[in-house]
Structure 1
Amino acid sequence: MADGFNQEEGDSENRIHIMNDEGQIVSKRMVENHFTIPEPDSEDGRSGINKQPEEWLPITQSRKGNSWTATFHLLCSGIGTQTLSLPLAFVYLGWFWGILCLCVAFVWQLYTIGLLVSLHESVPGTRYSRYLQLSIAAFGVKLGKVMAIFPVLYLAGGTCVMFIIAGGGTMKLFYQLMCDDCSSKHPLTTTEWFLVFICLTILLSLFCPNLHSVSLVSLFGAIMAVGYCTTLWVMMVAKGKVDGAVYDPSKVVASDAGRARSTLNALAIIALAFRGHNVVLEIQGTLPSTPNRSSAKSMLKGVRASYLIIAMCFFPVAIVGYWAFGNKIPVNGGMLTAISTNIHHNASKPVLGMIYVQVVLSCVSAFQIYSMVIYDNLEHAYVSRTSHECPKLVRMGIRIFFGGMTFFISVVFPFLPSLALLVGGFALHLTFGYPCLMWIVMKRQPTSIRWWFTLGLGCLGLGLSVLVIVSGVWNLVCRGLDANFFHPR
C-alpha cells in the first residue's frame, strides 16, 4: 500500500489534471522529453561533470569584472577606423542634416544598448551572456538561431578581417613614412604586412584565455583609439582649412538619382560608424551579479562613461573633418587617406607616425574582443561533444586556426573595405533592430507607450538595414568593383 502510494506520488509530478464534460476530474500522464548525459569514464570526468560548462567558456569563465573593465571593453570595441569616414557623410548631407542624423543615430544605438543591458538578467536566476542566447530566449530555439547565429558570427569574423586589412595596411603606411629613404631593396608586400599583423594578434590571444583577461589590452586599445581620433581633429584645427574646400552638397552630385544614392550612402556611413552591440551582452557577462546588486548597475555605469567619451570622439572628427576638407574628403579611407595625401608634406613625420601606430595598436586590441565571440562558439562545440573543458593545446589550436582563416580571407578579398556598406548592412539589424524586437517579445506590454515606440523603432531598424544593403548594391552597380583577388595593395 505504501509502495503504491509512493509510486502514485512520484507519478503525480508528471500528470496534468483536467475536468471532462461530466464535471469529473481526470488525471492524465504528460509526455516527457529525456536528455541523457553520458557517464564519465574516469574519476576526473565525474568530478568535472559537476562543474558548470559556463565556467569553461571564454566569455563567462571569469566574472570578476567591474564598471571600469566594462568601460574599457566598450571603448575599445566601439571606436574604430570607420569613425574616420564620418566627415564623408557630411559631404553628402551638409551641416544641418549631417549633425542631425549623427545625433539621432547616436541616441538610437544608445537606447538599444540600454535594452540589451536590461534584458541580460530579465529572467530571475538566468543570465543571457551571449547575443545568441538572448535571441533564442526571445524567439525560440529554431527561429532564434536562424535570426542570430549567422549575423553574430558573420559580424565578429568579418570585423576581424577588416582589422587585418586596416591594421596591416596602416603598418605598411607607417613603414613607408619612416623608411622612405631606407636602403632596403625588398620591402614587405601588403600580404606580408597582413601576416605580421595576424601573428601579433594570435600571439597576444594566447595570453588572453577569456574575455575578462583582455581588460588591460582593452584599456590600452581604448587609449589608442581615443588618441588617434583626438590627434586627428586637433591637428586639423591647427592646420586649418584645405584650399578650395566647398560645403554645398548640391555641388557634389548633379542628378536626382545621384543625390538619392549619396544620401543613402551618408546614412549608411553614419549607421555603420556605431559598432560593438554584438559584444555588449558578452561584456556584461564578465561582471558579477548578486541578489543585492545586479550586473546591470555596473554595466550601465560603463555604458554612460564609455559613450560620453565616444561622443567626444565621433562629433569632433565628423564636424572638424568636414570643416577642414569640405567636399575633398576621399571616398575610400576617409580621414586616414586624407592625412596621408593632402597634408602629408605639411605634417610632421612623428605626428603622422604616431597616428599610424595608434591605429594599428587599436586594431590589434579590438581584434581580441571580437575574436572572443568566435573562440567561445568553437570551444562550446568542443565542450558539447566531449563534456570536458578545452585543454590549453586545443585552445591554442582554435586561436591559430581562426587567425589563419581570417588572414586567408583578407588576402583573398582585400577589396572588402570598398564593399563595407553592402557587407555591413547584413548585420546592421543587430545594432538598430533586433534589440528592440527582443525587448518587445520578452516584455509583452502592448498597452505601454514605450512598448509601441520600441516596436516602431525595431521595424525602422530592419528597414534601415535593408536601405544600407540597397545602397551598397547601388554603389556596386554605378562604380563597379576592382576585385583584386589575392593581390592586396
Structure 2
Amino acid sequence: MGDGEHESSIGAASQDQKELDAGARFVLKSKGSWLHCGYHLTTSIVAPPLLSLPYAFAFLGWSIGLVCLVIGALVTFYSYNLISLAIYLLLKPEGSLKLYEFVMVFGCLMLVLAQVPSFHSLRHINLVSLVLCLCYSACATAGSIYVGYSSKGPEKDYSVLGDTEDRIFGMFNAIAIIATSYGNGIIPEIQATLAPPVKGKMFKGLCVCYTIVALTFFSVAISGYWAFGNQSDGLILSNFVVDGRPLMPKWFILMTNMFTILQLSAVGVVYCQPTNEVLERAFSDPHRAEFSLRNVIPRVISRSISVIAAITIAAMLPFFGDINSLIGAFGFMPLDFVLPVVFFNLTFKPSKRSAIFWLNITIAVVFSALGVVAAVAAVRQIVLDAKTYRLFANV
C-alpha cells in the first residue's frame, strides 16, 4: 500500500471515529429479534392509559366509542407500518400514602431502572411487561364484570351527559384519550434495536403488539363501560372503590394495582430511551468502553436528573384523564396519525392516482381536523376542571 493510500485509509478511519454516536452505540444496540421488537412495541403502546378507555366511552356512547377504538387500531397499525417502511427504505439497514408521596416512591424505582444501559437490555423486562399488561387488563375486565353483575355497582346509564356543547367537546376530548392510548412516539428507536436483516421484522413485531392491543383495549373498554356507564372514572380502577368502600375483595384491588404499577415502570423506562440516547450522545465518549467510569458517571447523573424532573412534574399534576386527552391532542394525534402519512407522501411521492396516496391524504385531513378540535376540547376540559386542581393533589 502506498503512502497516499495509507494516509487516505487513516483519514477515513479517523472520520469514522469522529462520526461515532455514543447514543446509537450504547442505547440503540441493533441486536434484537422481531419477537423482542414485539415486546418493546407492546410495552410502549399497551400501557395504563388503556384503563381510561371506559371514561372515553362515557363521552362517546357504545357505537361511536367502538368505532373510534377500531379506527384508532387500524390507522395506527397502518401508520406505524408506514414509519417502519420509510425508515427501512431510507436507511437500507440490514395504601396510606398520599398520591404525590407514592409518585415519589415510584420515582425511586424509576431512578434504578433508568440506569439500564440499552434498549436491547430491556427485552426481558418488556416480556414481563407484556404479561403484566395482560394481567391487569384481565383483572380490570373481571372486576368490571363482577361489579356489573352485583348489586354494589351504580345503576347502568349509557346516556351521554351534558348539554349539546358539553357533548360535542366531550366527544373530541374522548377521541384524544383514545389517541393517547394508541400513541407510540418511539417507533424509530424500537426499529433501531433490530438486528439485520430488518425487513419484515417490524411488521411481525407490530402483529404481536396489536394482538395484545385487541385483547386488552377492547375487553377493558367494553366491560368497564358496561359496568359503570357514564359514571366511568378517568381511571377505571377508581370505580372499584366508592367513598372508601371497596366493591370487591381488597386483595383483588391491591393485586390489580400492583400489576399496573409494575408495568408502568417498564413503560416509563421504554419512553426514557430517546432521552437516554440524547444524553449519551451529549455526555458519553463513544471511544471509551460503555461501562468505563468516563461514561458511567455522566450516564447515572444525567439520567437521574431527567427522571427526577419527570417524577416531580407527575407528582404535581396527578390528573390522569385530563392529562391523557391533552397529550393525545397535542402529541400523539399529530405524531401517530398525521405526520407518518404526510411524510410518506412527501418522501416517496406515490402516484396521485394510487389508492395509497389518497388514503394517506384522507387520514391526514381527517385527523388534522380532529386534532385541532380535540386540542380545544382538551384545554376546555382542563379549564372546567381547574377548580378541583391543586399542586400535589391527593386525587
| Structure-2-length-normalised TM-score | 0.86
The one-letter code sitting in structure 1 at the alignment partner of 2:166 is G
Aligned to 1:150: none
Instruction: Please list the CA deviations of residues 319-339 of structure 1 after superposition, one character each: whole Å capped at 9, or x if unmatched.
Output: 111111122212xx3311111
What is the rounded CA distance, in whole Å, between the counterparts of 1:126 and 1:358 in structure 2? Answer: 37
Aligned to 2:275: 374
Q: 1:101 to 1:189 in 2, by over 3 A?
A: closer
Once the 2 structures are TM-superposed, how far is the Cα of residue 416 of structure 1 from its aligned partner? 6.7
Indicate yes or no: 2:351 matched with 1:446: yes
Indicate yes or no: 2:382 matched with 1:476: yes
What is the rounded CA distance, in whole Å, between the counterparts of 1:259 and 1:55 in structure 2? Answer: 46
Aligned to 2:6: none
**Counterpart pick for 1:215 among 120, 123, 128:** 123
Aligned to 1:244: 155
Q: 1:343 to 1:397 in 2, by over 3 A?
A: closer
What is the rounded CA distance, in whole Å, between the counterparts of 2:314 and 2:23 in structure 1? Answer: 33
Residues 172 and 370 of structure 2 are in contact (CA less than 8 Å); yes or no, is this contact kept in structure 1?
A: no
Q: 1:339 to 1:243 in 2, by over 3 A?
A: closer
Indicate yes or no: 2:106 matched with 1:197: yes
Higher helix share: 2
Indicate yes or no: 2:62 matched with 1:95: yes
Moved more, 319-328 or 88-97: 88-97
Aligned to 2:8: none
Moved more, 338-347 or 399-408: 338-347
What is the rounded CA distance, in whole Å, between the counterparts of 1:78 and 1:302 in structure 2? Answer: 12
What is the rounded CA distance, in whole Å, between the counterparts of 2:55 and 2:191 in structure 1? Answer: 33
Aligned to 2:194: 287
Indicate yes or no: 2:201 matched with 1:298: yes
TM-align CA RMSD: 2.6
Structure 2 gaps of 5+ residues are 1-10, 289-293
What is the rounded CA distance, in whole Å, between the counterparts of 1:416 and 1:236 in structure 2? Answer: 19
Indicate yes or no: 2:238 matched with 1:337: yes
Indicate yes or no: 2:275 matched with 1:275: no
What is the rounded CA distance, in whole Å, between the counterparts of 1:47 and 1:438 in structure 2? Answer: 31
Indicate yes or no: 2:171 matched with 1:263: yes
Q: 1:232 to 1:453 in 2, by over 3 A?
A: same
Once the 2 structures are TM-superposed, how far is the Cα of residue 470 of structure 1 from its aligned partner? 0.7
Q: Relative contact order: is structure 1 or structure 2 higher (C-alpha 8 Å, sep ≥ 6)?
A: 2
Aligned to 1:434: 339
Residues 57 and 380 of structure 1 are in contact (CA less than 8 Å); yes or no, is this contact kept in structure 2?
A: no
What is the rounded CA distance, in whole Å, between the counterparts of 1:47 and 1:462 in structure 2? Answer: 43
Once the 2 structures are TM-superposed, how far is the Cα of residue 344 of structure 1 from its aligned partner? 4.9
Aligned to 1:225: 133
Residues 174 and 325 of structure 2 are in contact (CA less than 8 Å); yes or no, is this contact kept in structure 1?
A: no
Once the 2 structures are TM-superposed, how far is the Cα of residue 437 of structure 1 from its aligned partner? 0.9
Larger gyration radius, structure 1 or structure 2: 1
Q: 1:54 to 1:453 in 2, by over 3 A?
A: farther
- Count residues in correspondence: 374
What is the rounded CA distance, in whole Å, between the counterparts of 1:201 and 1:225 in structure 2? Answer: 18
Residues 221 and 362 of structure 1 are in contact (CA less than 8 Å); yes or no, is this contact kept in structure 2?
A: yes
Instruction: Please list the CA deviations of residues 296-330 of structure 1 after superposition, one character each: whole Å capped at 9, or x if unmatched.
Output: 31111111111011111111111111111122212
SS of match in other structure, 2:195: coil
Aligned to 2:251: 350
Structure 1 gaps of 5+ residues are 1-38, 40-44, 128-174, 177-187
Once the 2 structures are TM-superposed, how far is the Cα of residue 398 of structure 1 from its aligned partner? 1.5
1:117-132 to structure 2, matched below 5 A, reads: 117-123=84-90, 125=92
Aligned to 1:154: none
Residues 104 and 311 of structure 2 are in contact (CA less than 8 Å); yes or no, is this contact kept in structure 1?
A: yes
Once the 2 structures are TM-superposed, how far is the Cα of residue 363 of structure 1 from its aligned partner? 0.9
Q: 1:259 to 1:192 in 2, by over 3 A?
A: closer
What is the rounded CA distance, in whole Å, between the counterparts of 2:314 and 2:299 in structure 1? Answer: 23
What is the rounded CA distance, in whole Å, between the counterparts of 2:14 and 2:89 in structure 1? Answer: 33
1:34-53 to structure 2, matched below 5 A, reads: 49=17, 52-53=20-21
Indicate yes or no: 2:33 matched with 1:66: yes
Q: 1:243 to 1:472 in 2, by over 3 A?
A: closer
Aligned to 1:410: 314
What is the rounded CA distance, in whole Å, between the counterparts of 2:75 and 2:370 in structure 1? Answer: 12
Instruction: Please list the CA deviations of residues 193-228 of structure 1 after superposition, one character each: whole Å capped at 9, or x if unmatched.
Output: 22221111111222x201000111111112111110
Residues 341 and 360 of structure 2 are in contact (CA less than 8 Å); yes or no, is this contact kept in structure 1?
A: yes
SS of match in other structure, 2:157: coil
Once the 2 structures are TM-superposed, how far is the Cα of residue 96 of structure 1 from its aligned partner? 1.7
Indicate yes or no: 2:269 matched with 1:364: no
Identity across aligned pairs (percent)?
25
Once the 2 structures are TM-superposed, how far is the Cα of residue 54 of structure 1 from its aligned partner? 6.1
| Structure-1-length-normalised TM-score | 0.71
